[in-house]
Structure formats: C-alpha cells, structure tokens
Structure 1
C-alpha cells in the first residue's frame, strides 16, 4: 500500500532525518512514520542531486535545504523545533551529533560518535572496558611508507588493512606481513590521503569450505536511557574476496543456547563505548577462541537487515530507530526465539558481488529465472550493462544485484544460495 501524508500530526513529535539516497528508502520511512512522528527531511543537494527525489520527499514531510551549511548554520534554518534526529550512515552520525548539540536534542555526542566511527578509537575503548581486543595500529595520513611499515612490524599476522573511517569493507585488504602493508599502500594512487588501521586478524571459527555460513554475525539492538533491548541476530553467507558481504540470513543457523552469550557480548561492547541510548548493529566473529567483537555501529545495520526483520517477524526496526532517536521507547520487541518454527520462516538477502578484478558489467542473464523461484520476493539489479564497478575501493557497495525472500528453513536457504549463484550470471571486463 502506498504511504499517505494526510494523517493528523498536531501532537506528533518532529523527527529530523538526514536524507541520503543510499541509506534511506523514502517510501519505507513514509510507511512507518504516520502516528509516530512528523518527518522533517534535512537535504544536502550536493549529496542528493535528483530533483524527483526531492519532490517525493515533499510528499511525505517538510524539506529543509542544508546544502553547503555547517550544522551551526543548519540549526538556524530550523524554525520549528525538532524533537530528535535520525542518521542512517556513519558520516551522517557526525553531522547529527553536531546538529543535536546545537539544538539541545537527545543523540550521541561528538565524542561518542568518534568512538563509533573511528576504528582505532573503538578498539582502544573496548580494550579499556576489558573486552578481548586484537592488536591495532593507526597509520595517519601523511606518514611515510617506511614509517608505516615500521609502525606495524610488531603486530601478529595475518592482519587486515582498512581505512580508520570506513564502511562496507571499502579499501580493505588481507595482509600477511608488514612489508605487504607497505606494498598495498604503494599501490594506492591517493596514499596517504586518509588514516588507515592495521588490525590483527581474529582467528577463523571454521573454514569457508565447511559451511555455507560465515563465522560472523550481527546483533541488532535498541537502547533508551541505559536499557538495552536486543531484537535478534543476523547470520551471514561466506565473504567474497576483499571481505565483501554475499548474504544476510535471519534468524541465523545458530543453536539457541549460543544466543545469550552473544547478547551479553553486544551489551558489554555498547556499554564499554560509554553509550546508553541509540540503535546499534554489533558485528561479532565466532572465532576459534570464542566470540569476539568486530565492531559496533551506532545505526541500523545495512544489507537489508531492516527488511529481513520485518519479513520474518513483522517488527519494524526502522520505526523503532525513529522512536529511539526521539528519546522514546520503541514498540516491545517480539520474544526473540531463534528457530524458524517461531518466525515466519528464514529470511534471506543475497548480494551478488563481482569478481575482485572486474571493472565493468558487460551482460546479465538469468534474472527472470531467479524471479520465478517461489521463495524469492524480489530481485533488484543495482548495476546494468555498461556500469562501472571497482570492488577493491567500493567494497560491498560494488554489489550488482540483490535478491530477497523467505524460505522454510536454513537447509532450503543454502539450496537457494547455490541455485541463485548458478542461475544469475554476470559477465564483466
């Protein structure tokens, strides 16, 4: 059903939404806002050039143009007070914190956002909180290659090289020694334009050949005034080269007895970062040494997680995120029962990743065949023939197709992953 904007809104709070077309689905937000809040879209035209999108935004709320403005300047454009601010990606968390500080609204403060977005600062905070933490070294922009190699010589390898501020495994590389760190940097034409970190790799829980499921997952959590509620856990398919995501599975293929420990670890990580309110997406690796925190994100998880949550349980994480960012308790979370028999089934989202060396999509076949699979709800082609791709730099955002649906159980999901991989074919150059 198409959302409408005609519902009475006199008594509803006003939620400022930093609009980004990559992380905000306008119609999805418009569908969950009636009866909960009035949406005020905060739009930067330099990031959102599509005129059609701005027209659509006006159908479902007030639009305030903040193009080229500092958050102090943007605050002066907001003539009717806001009650909260919603950010859906890491860079916008910074702007939301600055704007909330100007307006006196509940939100993360800039120091908290720094601990969420900066991978080195987050590792330091988690270590200080007593959580097991791999060794991590920052390589600041401007450091010479020789100095960078020397700085990481004392780490244990294998390790991972990645931007200190980054998402979706952008520019993320496996490295086997300090010299390889230098080689990777030397290959980057823009080095050293930003800070990087080199982090010891947490031991794998199992070999990729042993399971269709990856040895990491994420806990989706909501917190208001120190009370943390965990919605559930999202499993993953095996990673593509460059640590790129290939599938999200909800609920995961995980024994019920293992869930409480993962919830406890997510709670400890959130509190270890000094956070008491917000929406959190905590990635955890099921290592051979026990579960270990990969990172905590102060936003909803990407990769179709909100879609999956609603598909398998009827619960809207997006609506919950809006309420939490207004400082209000979300709707009660359904009792998290980690077995498909107590949900609608097992939700899946498949992300078709191009080969690591691919740079352009040439042809696509098999889309109609995949759409005809009974369990498939939708297939979205995110790249077309002639579109460019750059997996090393784009990370998981190099995805060329997304397939979402619902299956009876994990055995069937595993079969579907194989069937989709066989049927949907892309050619590249």
Structure 2
C-alpha cells in the first residue's frame, strides 16, 4: 500500500510514460495530447492510483485503444502511452441504423484498412506498409508515402465510441496551447453532422522543431472515429526530417479523413467497450467548469494569469502570480473512487469530521526540469468523490522554476480541495 510520501505506482507509470513518449509518434500520441489538453481524465478507476499532476497524471483512454498520458510532457504530451496497462478487447454492441450505401458490410481488418489507405492516397510511391492495429476491433495502418518530395509516414486508425459521450465531444476539440505547441488548428461541423479537426503541430509537443506532425480527426454522428496522421519524416525513433512539410496539404488531409470508405468502416465498428460502459453524466462539479470553481477559490490578492477553458468538466487549471512568479495549480474531480480508496489513502491519512480523508504530498516535479517542486493534496469523501489539487513553482510543470515554492501553501491547497463547492448539494 503506498504511503503519503511514496507511491510506487506513480514512479513506475511515470517511467513507462517517459520511455514510451520518445517512441514512434502514433495517433495514440496525438490522442494523449488531447487527453492532456482536456484533462487527464481517469477513465479507468483501477488506473487511478497516481496523484493528479506531474509526470504521473493519468489521462483519458485514447480512441486508439490505449490508456494515455501526457509525455515530454513525456509526448516526451506530456503524452505517453501506459504500455504496462493492457486494454481488454471491445465487445460488440449494436450499431445505429444505416442505409446499405452508408454502411460497410463488416468491420474492416488492418489489412483491409491498409488497402483502403493505399487506394485513397494521391499518386506516389508507397512502401513499408504495415497493419499496426492493437486488436482486431481497432485497426490501424501505416505506410511510407513519397510523392517525389521524400518519404513520409502516413497512418490511419479507426474506432467507435458512444455517440454524444465525452470522448466523442473531445475528439475534435483543438488542444490547449498550455500543453501543446502548434501552428494552426480548426474544428468544424460538416454538413452531415460529423465534426472534423485539422491540426498542424510538431512531433515534440512543447517546442517547434523541424519534425512536423499534421493530423485530421473525424467523429461521425454515429460515434465513428477516423484518425489520420502524417509526418515529414519516416516516423521512427529519432528519425530526421526527410522533407520540409508532410506530403498532404490540409485539403488532401481532410479529403482522406472524410473519405466515404473510412467513414463507413468506422461507423460499422462495434462501440468500444470502455466507451459503452462509461456513463455520460455531464459535468462532475456543480459549476460545470473546474477552472471557474477553482478561480472562485483562489485567495484574494493573487492574480489569475491563465486558466483552462469552459469544457474542463473534471480537470482544470489556473496559472497564478502573486507578483513573485507564476505558479500552475490544477484540479481533478472524480465522482466515485471508493474502489481504490485503500490504495490512495493509508492509515496515516487525516480524517476530517465529515469523514473526508486527506493525504498530502510534497516531492520533486518532472525529472530533468531544474528546481521544480510538486505539492498536492488528495481528498476523498465518504461517498467516494475525490478531489485532487496540485501546485508547482512554475507556470508549467515541465518548465524551469519561476519561484522557490508554489504560490499556494499546503494549508491553502487543502482548504481549496475540501471546499464544499466541489460537491453537489446533498
């Protein structure tokens, strides 16, 4: 059982994520970035034993089928894939009704997806084609494509989630620039009700480099997901840029992601078992937005210089400055975590009069970042509702320290984490 000062799960997970974040930048890496952006949502309670914040913060389960975390941020996004936590194959569920022209006759295999990708790419040389799906229910194909300007990796992946779910909504929301550096991002609704995001970013989530990663993410009204990624390199570990830009411009990237063959194949897939089982209860805090509630709880006299957007319904952040340097503060709220309570709160946890348990942690921040410290207060109510607040002595957890300690004291962090405004009225 981890104690308040040492959580082996966190350390192992952080190490795995750091290692994985340096590997081939797949669609899962992009999904991890989106998970970071919209809040490291703990989609599996059994993987929730890490305190939110820092390198070990757990992100949402990506549409590519892997539990993802921000790496580099550990994407060296803060993107990392938790390779140590295998995902159970999805179980089939009924698909929405389609006309025969709209529906694929069956779920496509990785090999079939590969053939579709080869057919849809503009004229050019295709080599090193691979079926890279992690299960039969989540096909993924990769090729090296050369239009005459140099070889570049291009991948396509398919999945399907519950329509209207949080995953479906987030799949096409542009990332928060707090976590992901990018040049352009657009998110639009198409005439058939599908949502499409086109993003020009970099292989490194936190800096502009010569290795570029452009992506298209399509979510259909039926929950079908099509993800297309292209690089200006072959995509291998440390692979140098082979050309100035990825081969497909945004118009061609859009045409590939919205191709009828891919949309129909995505809609014909069974709904991912995790998405089907996840209740879509909407915002988990009474105010709806974590950053809005957190902003109201910041002590008077401390300036809020930045905060997450209004869609941060279970994770949010603010950047504070009391005149002596910026300090990131982030909060995660989870409705019912009683099944991991004993893992999170040892016998030395403080118990408040209302039965709320409190565990505090003060430790170094992200490895390799000079002077970073990470303070956190983890709380759980008798009904299992967990509120975790983390603070850093920098405006971002993966940038050098701007001050000696976070702007908020441990006492102030505890007061915020235990405030009744995080909880629905009884």
Q: State the TM-score bracket (shorter-chain normalisation).
A: under 0.3
Larger relative contact order (Cα-Cα within 8 Å, sequence gap ≥ 6): 2
Question: Normalising by the residue count of structure 2, what TM-score does the alignment of the two structures yield?
Answer: 0.25
> Counting helix residues as a fraction of each chain, which structure ranks higher?
1
Give the TM-score taking structure 1 as reference length: 0.25
